[in-house]
Structure 1
Amino acid sequence: MTDNLGFGREKRRQGNLDILSGKVTFRDEFRRMLDSVVQNGHSFEECKQVLRDNIKLDSGFKEFYAWCKANDIPVILVSGGMTPTIRAVLSNLLGEEEASQIEVISNDVDSHADGTWSIKFRHPSSGYGHDKSQAILPYRQLENPPTLFFFGDGVSDMSAAKHADLLFVKVKDYEESDLSVYCRNHGIKHVLFSDFSQALPIVQSIVKGEKTVDQVLESGRA
């Protein structure tokens, strides 16, 4: 949305680098990105439609999701975006019934009387806007905590990075991503993957007890 409807890729990219360096918070910079879309006159309904028309599922995700569902492994979408846009995209990609079964933990949107809109952060007092660690940490407090797999790719995932048992960082052709740079700078072990068809065998091997999380982390990539 920011690249095509807002102030463009160059400013968006610089914003991500500023977040990564700690110059600005994700909350403030992401709000600035979305505000640029509003300032260019795009309604929220138009933005939802643009996302529905253009976002595609990552390769291998349907098979990954089907295996998790068949094995009673919850798949929860924890996003720095906004729930209405995410629901619109999921419904388009998976169908209404299937999409409705996926739990979404995200931000919301405020619609204003003049037709404009703004993001409504889940955790407005946090510099992350949506502190994704708060979606993960309750599982740590369970009597028998599950193995937590987390899949991320960018600066919106920094708050969750150190709290997963196994963090998968999505990259293209094993090149750096903002999240992989963040993890390396903060000593957070992670596994690189380029699509879910690579991640699935690893998750399966851990669930079946064939490998441990530590063994997988030693390799560093899917």
Structure 2
Amino acid sequence: MSSEEAPKSVLPYPPIHADAPFVVLSDWDGTITDRDSNDYLVDNLGFGFEKRRELNLECLSGRMTFRDSFAEMLDSVNQKHAFEECKNELKKNIKLDPGFVNFYTWCRSKKIPFVIVSSGMAPNIKGVLETLLPNQEDTKDIDIIANEVKFTDPEGTGKTWEIVYRHPTSGFGHDKSQAILPYRELEHKPTLFFCGDGVSDLSAAKHADLLFAKVMANGHSDLKTFCEREQIKHVPFKDFNKVLERVRDVVEGGKSVEQVLREEGN
């Protein structure tokens, strides 16, 4: 663990699953979903793809923090489009990864906690989940650790709004490692699985036992690029059917994390 002081969270955390032998943590946007909901808003309601991708690359290269780049992206949306309008756009246009429901159903059957760790805003995540999961009761078993939203219009109705970062002093805005590291302090050392796809997942990438890096249909993955550059062992995946296969190998098949990683070419 880093000797640097952990960033202070201005938002509460759910209790950790202290007795679980296995825990799955996952990014939301572009990982559980078929596309990044924030990218969708910026590309369609904000300043568009080219400027957004330019900021993504600035962040990936280390020339700009994720927090600052993300705030700039959302500022191109939030002064022109009410929050409810944005949320409804996402509910209509964002879909789940084709293997996610099967994977999550299996996790529930094995009593494996599932935690969403996102740099997005919790109300948007809840809105999309409640729209897309077959049984809305399922959402009660998913912990969501994310940023929040603040309505800034005088009426407080969300005509204008801004993101509330969980860790405003961190360059990540939400330092996802802080959702993982408490499990490292547990005496029984649970096996931690983490799934991600992009620059917001970099703070968590080094702390999982088995890291899954989502690769889009066009072969793109900022997280995979980062892992290859930093020589971080990981399992690439195109959908959650692959995650289910490999997590099941560990939980039910008796394989070690190291064996899975070797089989995946690490």
User: What secondary structure is seen at the aligned counterpart in 2 of 1:76?
Assistant: strand
Structure 1 stretches lacking a partner, 5+ long: none
Deviates more, 1:202-211 or 1:126-135: 202-211
* TM-score normalized by the length of structure 2: 0.80
Whichever residue aligns with residue 150 of structure 2, its letter is: D
User: What secondary structure is seen at the aligned counterpart in 2 of 1:162?
Assistant: coil
**What is the deviation of 1:173?**
4.5
Q: Where do 1:59-208 residues align within 5 Å? A: 59-94=98-133, 95-114=135-154, 115-173=159-217, 175-208=219-252
Deviates more, 1:79-88 or 1:203-212: 203-212
Structure with bigger helix share is 1
What is residue 217 of structure 1 aligned with on the other side?
261
Whichever residue aligns with residue 239 of structure 2, its letter is: D
Structure 2 stretches lacking a partner, 5+ long: 1-40
Q: Could you report, residue by residue, the CA deviation over 1:50-86 in whole angstroms, capped at 9, with x for unpaired residues?
A: 0111110101111100110000100100000000111
2:95 to 52, 56, 61: 56
Q: Could you report, residue by residue, the CA deviation over 1:122-155 in whole angstroms, capped at 9, with x for unpaired residues?
A: 0000000000000000001011021100000111
Whichever residue aligns with residue 217 of structure 1, its letter is: L
What is residue 74 of structure 2 aligned with on the other side?
34
For 2:189 and 2:218, the matched residues in 1 are separated by 31
What is residue 25 of structure 1 aligned with on the other side?
65
Whichever residue aligns with residue 35 of structure 1, its letter is: D
Q: Could you report, residue by residue, the CA deviation over 1:140-177 in whole angstroms, capped at 9, with x for unpaired residues?
A: 10110211000001111111000000100010248241
What is residue 51 of structure 2 aligned with on the other side?
11
User: What is the Cα-based RMSD across aligned positions, in Å?
Assistant: 1.3
Q: Identical aligned pairs, as a percentage?
A: 57
For 2:248 and 2:208, the matched residues in 1 are separated by 17
- The question of 1:46 aligning with 2:85 is answered yes
Q: Could you report, residue by residue, the CA deviation over 1:93-132 in whole angstroms, capped at 9, with x for unpaired residues?
A: 1143211221100000010124310000000000000000
Closer/same/farther in 2, CA of residues 165 and 14 from structure 1, 3 Å limit: same
User: What secondary structure is seen at the aligned counterpart in 1 of 2:206?
Assistant: helix
Q: Which has the higher contact order (CA 8 A, sep 6+)?
A: 2
* TM-score normalized by the length of structure 1: 0.95
Question: Number of paired residues?
Answer: 220
For 1:61 and 1:144, the matched residues in 2 are separated by 28
Quick check: 2:196–2:212 contact (8 Å CA) kept in 1?
yes
Q: Could you report, residue by residue, the CA deviation over 1:180-207 in whole angstroms, capped at 9, with x for unpaired residues?
A: 1111111211110000111111100101
Deviates more, 1:89-98 or 1:61-70: 89-98
For 2:211 and 2:120, the matched residues in 1 are separated by 20
Whichever residue aligns with residue 115 of structure 2, its letter is: I
